[in-house]
């Protein structure tokens, strides 16, 4: 995997203010604030570098307020996150280190996983 490295000013110029806050500063978008993605076949890429992250058929409605996936489909790293008095697993883009969201082991599908991802960190690519 080729690492994508940019200076802060480059990220600020490329990303919307909200996408910058979430992906570069580890923020979280408000639940139910993302307009969603179109239906149909496709996949999801990182808004920062275009790395393929999730397949469209891995997405499901979890009613948690953020896009949810039951498995990763690409370059994702996982890190222990002990912020906010909780123990969680943070997920980041392997290529550019963008904060994407968290993964939980309470998913309703056979994988048992729920990747709870900030919508502003993703772009949908229709097939």
Residue 5, classified by CB atoms within 10 Å of its CB into exposed (0-12), middle (13-18) or buried (19+), is: exposed
DSSP label of 11: H
- Reference 93, options 72, 66, 107, 69; nearest CA is 72
Q: How far apart (Å, rounded) are the C-alpha atoms in residues 93 and 29?
A: 17
Q: Is 116 a catalytic residue?
A: yes
DSSP label of 119: G
Beta strand residue intervals within the chain, DSSP E: 42-46, 52-55, 59-60, 68-69, 76-81, 88-93, 99-104, 114-117, 122-126
Q: Which residues are catalytic?
A: 116
């Amino acid at each position: 995997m080729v690492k994508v490295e940019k200076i802060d000013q480059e990220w600020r110029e490329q990303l919307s203010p909200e996408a910058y806050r979430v992906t570069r500063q580890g923020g979280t978008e408000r639940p139910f604030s993302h307009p969603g993605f179109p239906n149909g076949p496709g996949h999801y890429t990182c808004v920062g570098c275009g790395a393929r992250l999730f397949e469209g058929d891995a997405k499901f409605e979890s009613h948690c307020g953020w896009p949810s996936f039951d498995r990763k489909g690409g370059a994702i790293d996982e890190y222990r996150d002990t912020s906010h008095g909780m123990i969680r697993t943070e997920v980041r883009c392997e290529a550019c280190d963008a904060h994407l969201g968290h993964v939980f082991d309470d998913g309703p599908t056979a994988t048992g996983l729920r990747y709870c991802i900030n919508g502003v960190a993703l772009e949908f690519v229709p097939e």
